[in-house]
Structure 1
């Protein structure tokens, strides 16, 4: 009996797909750091029983209507705003993501970004590399303290709670806003639930970890930035579209907030000419929230396992 066909939209280490090798014939897009072209994805999907996808791959009605043998899509991410889940359900396609395995690594990066932005770490490193360090000054590259400040977390899911645990170690007061109260965060960490405006007004660090939805699109806009302290630092490690980037730029240029640390952008990848990148008070990273060898490999294995389970008639481990 011929094995079902699975298409993987980036070049991944074959050893991380071992659980899938016996269940399917696997083909991969040949490049690791470039998205699979839309035309190629559409063509491969026509005969695929499974797709292992990235956030850059749109799984929409156009693709699903042509993918008549498709049974499962496994997204190499926790977020799945690139997938039309309702359309997939209509076509009886199971969709999966990778929750849990990347929580701690993403929290590490989020807090590292907060610290880098507050203490001007990248700027200070560049200062030496550019040969600009010619002497010591009492306010040379002075940043902002992190310890005992107030952190406001927007989106108190598993990653939000993990960031809050790190904040607690720095003696920070923890505020949060979420669609629903997190009894776990309140009991374990002493986190205090507030309204969104209250969080903006009271926080020294505003950390965005909310998923992208119709309600959160451009949640951080001019009105939001104007509510923040002028000394506040904004951190985004969720989705770029949650932020109105033009409004963030204006807030930074007009010194309505102190700085920003950004791991995500509305359109990715961005160029060195992106307006936000030109600002010294912006610490910008290329969407590396979960980018450790251990975590990315675990995500790959989970995607492969989910596809293998569904093709074998079993429930996926992390079905949406």
Structure 2
């Protein structure tokens, strides 16, 4: 007798606790070798499924695959808070539900933003290389030197959950806080940050600029030559949001010219195939998209995705429904 459990394709390996829960509640097909699935692989795997559990690396969900999914697919759950990799309008046309995993990765991502601020300002990348490469020959009063964080001005681009968590942490460094958002947030959520109605108005107050907005048609390429020119000379940019918000040519030129003192980047356009010029810059602190990469956070993200799937197949509205 055929199982009545919903049929599910999972495109990447998930934490063991999450996969164990899925195995009990679904006819789940897992990605045993964890290699990214091609569009053809996903379509083949989806042929007899009711649902898909995908990740931000499944870019084809923004570029036409949704129209080619079989009629049996009723829901796509993405293992992420961001959903720019899913064509929501196309899913809506197909009457396919889409869910994400907000809230549970806020603290972990905000922690990485502070790590980038500190790492970029204090030269953590080149400092560690000096020690590892045995080039640290003596202590010197004058070299190498980084930049102060305590008491400096921090501008937050995007004051959602993660931006608010960054502000909360930055207060511990006595930073002067500013933010730009589509609208002001409640005072208790701003943690003393001053609201700027226009991004250009905030830029002169940014010794550090933390990018925390979503990737949307309006924000892609937003941090460009013009925005960088509006920052004080010697400012530092950090990005834990999405790589396509930054114009790589503009950022690299500013790092080479000295307009910017440094940058800290956890996300990149076309990652993991990042612009190779970043690797040659000593004033860039680079991380491999570690924003949500803690054991507890990834488990929580997976469980949130399963909660949404469970609600959908129980006939309830998923808590994180996007369509």
So what's the TM-score if we normalise by structure 2? 0.94
C-alpha contact (below 8 Å) 1:78/1:99 kept by paired residues = yes
Alpha-carbon distance between aligned partners in 2 of 1:85 and 1:59, rounded to the nearest angstrom: 9
Counterpart-to-counterpart distance in 1, 2:183 and 2:247: 24
> Aligned partners of 1:183 and 1:266: how far apart in 2?
32
User: What is the correspondence of 1:165-204 to structure 2 with a 5 Å cutoff?
Assistant: 165-185=168-188, 189-194=191-196, 195-204=198-207
Equivalent residues, number: 317
Distance change >3 Å, CA 146–CA 274, structure 1 → 2? same
Conservation of the 8 A alpha-carbon contact between 2:121 and 2:236: yes
Corresponding residue of 2:51: 50
**Whole-angstrom distance in 2 between the partners of 1:47 and 1:222:** 48
CA contact (8 A) 2:10 2:52 kept: yes
2:139 paired residue number = 136
Correspondences of 1:8-19 after superposition (within 5 Å): 8-19=10-21
Equivalent pair of 1:9/1:53 in contact (CA under 8 Å): yes
Aligned 1:267-278 pairs, distance under 5 A: 267-270=270-273, 274-278=276-280
Structure 2 unaligned residues grouped into runs of 5+: none
Which runs of structure 1 show a deviation greater than 4 angstroms over 4 or more consecutive aligned residues? none
**Structure 1 position 22, deviation (Å):** 3.5
Match of 1:35?
Answer: 36
Q: Tell me the SS of whatever aligns to 1:258.
A: strand
Mapping 1:56-71, distance limit 5 Å: 56-57=57-58, 58-60=60-62, 61-71=64-74
Tell me which moved more, 158-167 or 199-208.
Answer: 199-208
The CA distance in 2 between the partners of 1:15 and 1:108, in whole Å, is 24
Q: Cα deviation per residue 1:192-243 (whole Å; 9 max; x = unaligned)? A: 0112112222210000011011110100111111111111000011010001
RMSD of aligned Cα (Å): 1.6
Per the TM alignment, residue 185 of structure 1 is displaced from its structure 2 partner at its CA by 5.0
| Matching residue of 2:264 | 261
Secondary structure of the residue that 2:178 maps to in structure 1? strand
Q: 2:309 aligns with which of 301, 307, 310?
A: 307
Q: Which residue of 2 aligns with 1:285?
A: 287
In structure 1, runs of 5+ residues without a counterpart are none
